[in-house]
Structure 1
Amino acid sequence: MTQLQLFLAFFRVGMLGYGGGPSSIPLVHKEVVEKYKWMNDDEFADVLALGNTLPGPIATKMAGYIGYRVAGILGLINATLSTILPTIVLMIVLLTTISSVKDYPWVQGMTAAVVPVVGVMLATLTWDFFKKSQKSLGWIKALALICGSFLLMEILGVHPAILIGGLLLAAILKKDKNPDKDRAVERGSA
């Protein structure tokens, strides 16, 4: 049953993830966190952050990792194939017919109408991540990280992988500097 659920979850992502990887992320979140509860929001955020540091399509990387985590090697293969299968089939079908209908107004309108919907999906996911970071960091630190990240990535052109790697390194170094506090936190959560 788990293999079927994996296939259906990532097949839906592959079918509905119009516009590429970023538009697929909210769909993966809905399937993995909300519907099947294979991971929580924090784990999903970690997978998303690490997936963004690696080369290649984000939806495929996330499918592979989540499939492996849920059902081992067979789950990895299943989730990855079910993510890319719709794209392969649709590309073959669409590329053979697109040249004959691409100039029709309804095709252009459909394509233009999808873009704002994808934007809303990404904005909703962004807002959810902001609320979670605000709870753990507070408003000031969360806003500072958002503004700093925006400045580094959009204005100065720093690659997101470098930013995420720097934040991970800072977290590791901070943890090593406060070993007594970290042990107290671990004892308190146990």
Structure 2
Amino acid sequence: MTLLQLFISFFQVGLFSIGGGLASMPLIQNQVVDLHHWLTLTEFTDLITIAEMTPGPIAINSATFVGIRIAGLQGAIIATIGCILPSCIIVSTLAWIYMKYKDLNVIQGTLSGLRPAVVALIASAGLSILTLTIFGEHGITFNLESINFISVFLFSISLFILRKWKPNPIVVMMGSGVIGGIIYLLV
């Protein structure tokens, strides 16, 4: 039963994820944290971090990590197949349709209309992670004791560096991780 739930959950994630890995994070969170309670919100945040650091698409990495956590190697395989299968079916179908009707204005208009939805999904995932990082699992509060000032400092400095000098974001993320690790070890 668990394997079937894993497959169905990640099939839904794969089916309704439009816009790539980061856009799928709210859907994965809904399935893994909210509906099935397979992970806590903190574990989910850790999962995102690991899934982003490892090679490959974040949604597939997340499916693999959740699957292995819930049902071992079988779970990893089933969850990964569930996540990949809708994309394979949809992309194959769309490629056939696109090649047949690529000159129609309706096709071009549809593709342009999907862009705002993708931006909204990515912004939602980013705000969820930012809120969890700064305020913790309890959500936004104006109690100064619940604010993680180290996270606020690292976020502010990283944002400033990215906007001012436009370095490679991976270098900034790695630097923030190292600085954050050192600060947390010292505190």
TM-score of the superposition, structure 1-length normalised?
Answer: 0.80
The answer on 1:84 being equivalent to 2:84 is yes
Given residue 65 of structure 1, which amino acid in structure 2 is its aligned partner?
Answer: F
Q: CA RMSD in A?
A: 2.4
| Aligned 8 A contact 2:158 2:176 in 1 | no
User: 2: CA distance between counterparts of 1:67 and 1:102?
Assistant: 38
Aligned pair 1:99/2:99, yes or no?
yes
Question: Structure 1: where are the runs of 5+ without partners?
Answer: 179-190
Q: Distance in 2 between matches of 1:56 and 1:125?
A: 19
Letter of the structure 2 residue corresponding to residue 3 of structure 1: L
Per-residue CA distance 1:63-113 (angstroms, 9 max, x = gap): 111110111000000011111111122222221221222333332232222
Q: Determine whether 1:10 maps to 2:10.
A: yes
Q: Which runs of 5+ in 2 are unaligned?
A: 137-145
C-alpha distance after superposition, 1:31-82 (max 9, x if no partner): 1111111112211111111221222111111111111011100000001111
Quick check: 1:156 aligned with 2:156? no
Q: Corresponding residue for 1:42?
A: 42
Would you say the 8 A contact 2:22–2:125 is kept in 1?
no
Alignment: residue pair count: 177
Give 1:153 deviation, angstroms: 4.5
Amino acid at match of 2:16: L
1:33 match: 33
| Moved beyond 3 Å, runs of 4+ | 139-144, 151-155, 162-178
Percent identity between matched residues is 28
